[in-house]
Amino acid sequence: MSISLRLLAFTLVPLILFTGTTLADDFTQKDQDRWQKEYMSVVEKGRALWVSPKLGTNGVSCAQCHPNGANTHPETYPKFQQQLGRVIPLRDMINWCILNPLEGEELNPYDPRMVAMEAYLAHERKGVPMAPGKH
Amino acid sequence: MNSRQITRRSFLKGMGAIAAGGTLPVSLVELAFADSSRNFTFAYISDSHIQHIKGTQFVRNWDRGLIRSVAETNMLLPKPDFVVYGGDLAQLGTQAELDHGAEMLAKLNYKYHCVMGEHDYYLDLGRYWGKLFGPHYYSWDHKGVHFIVLNSILTYDKWTHERWPTPEQRMLEMAGLDNPNGSPFMVGKKQRQWLQEDLKTLKKETPVVLFSHSPIQKIYKGWNFWTEDAEEVQALLRPFADVTVVYGHVHQIQYNQIGNISFHAVMATAWPWPYPESYAQAKTHLPKITVPMNRADPFFERDATGWQFINLKTGRIDISYNLYDNTNRTVAYNRKTSRPEDTTYQSPEKRIPPQSHY
Ligand SMILES: [Fe+2]
Ligand SMILES: [Fe+2]
The pLDDT tens digits of the residues spanning B68-91 come to: 999 999 988 888 999 999 999 999
At B99 the three-state DSSP class reads helix
Question: Are B234 and B245 spatial neighbours (Cβ–Cβ below 8 Å)?
Answer: no
pLDDT tens column, B228-265: 999 999 999 999 999 999 999 999 999 999 999 999 99
As a whole number, the mean pLDDT across chain A is 89
Topology annotation, domain B26-275+282-293+328-342: Purple Acid Phosphatase; chain A, domain 2 (3.60.21)
Which has more confidence, B13 or A29?
A29
Say whether pLDDT at B270 is over 60. Answer: yes
Sign of CA pseudo-dihedral B175, B177, B180, B183 = positive
Q: Encode pLDDT of B334-352 as tens digits.
A: 999 999 999 999 999 999 9
Tell me the C-alpha distance between A88 and A108, whole Å.
15
**B119 pLDDT above the threshold of 90:** yes
Q: Per-residue confidence at B286, pLDDT binned at 50, 70, 90?
A: confident
* Backbone φ and ψ of B101, nearest 5°: -65, -45
d(CA B243, CA A97): 41
Coil, helix or strand for B257?
A: strand
The CA B269 to ligand 1 mean position distance, Å, reads 9
CATH topology of domain A53-135: Cytochrome Bc1 Complex; Chain D, domain 2 (1.10.760)
Residue from B118, B120, B126, B122 nearest B105 by CA = B120
Lowest mean pLDDT among A20-34, A115-129, B135-149: A20-34
Which residue does chain B place closest to A67, by CA atoms? B178
Minimum-distance ligand to the CA of A64? 1
> What is the 3 state secondary structure string of chain A?
CCHHHHHHHHHHHHHHHHHCCCCCCCCCHHHHHHHHHHHHHHHHHHHHHHCCCCCCCCCCCHHHCCHHHCCCCHHHCCEEECCCCEEECHHHHHHHHHHCCCCCCCCCCCCHHHHHHHHHHHHHCCCCCCCCCCC
Percent of chain B topping pLDDT 90: 79
For the segment B179-185, the average pLDDT, to the nearest whole number, is: 97
The pLDDT value given to residue B6: 42
Q: What is the pLDDT of residue A23?
A: 76
- Residue B78: is the preceding peptide bond cis (ω within 30°)? yes
3-state SS, residue B110: coil
**B177 C-alpha vs ligand 1 centroid, how far in Å?**
9
Q: How far is A124 from chain B (nearest CA, A)?
A: 7
pLDDT of residue A18: 55
Burial label, B118 (beta-carbon count in 10 A; 0-12, 13-18, 19+): buried
Q: Do B222 and A128 touch (CB under 8 A)?
A: no
pLDDT category at B149 given cuts 50, 70, 90 is very high
Question: Between A67, A97, A127, which is nearest B177 by CB?
Answer: A67
Mutation site for A-interface testing, chosen from B250, B251, B279, B325 by largest number of A Cβ within 10 Å: B279
Q: Judge whether residue B152 has pLDDT over 70.
A: yes
- B223 interfaces chain A, CB cutoff of 8 Å: yes
Q: Which residues contact A21 (CB under 8 A, 6 or more apart)?
A: A27
Taking the Cβ of residue B357 and every Cβ of chain A, the question of whether any pair is shorter than 8 Å is answered with: yes
ipTM score of the complex? 0.89
User: A65–B282: do the CB atoms touch at under 8 Å?
Assistant: no
Contacts of B56 (CB under 8 A, 6+ apart): none
Q: What is the mean pLDDT of residues B298-321?
A: 89
What is the predicted pLDDT for the residue at A69? 98
Using a CB-CB cut-off of 8 Å, the residues of chain B touching A100 are 298
Q: Is the pLDDT of residue B15 over 50?
A: no
Split at pLDDT 50, 70, 90, the class of B35 is: low
Give this prediction's pTM. Answer: 0.89
Kindly report the average pLDDT of chain B as a whole number: 89
Is residue B8 over pLDDT 60?
Answer: no
First to last CA, chain A: 56
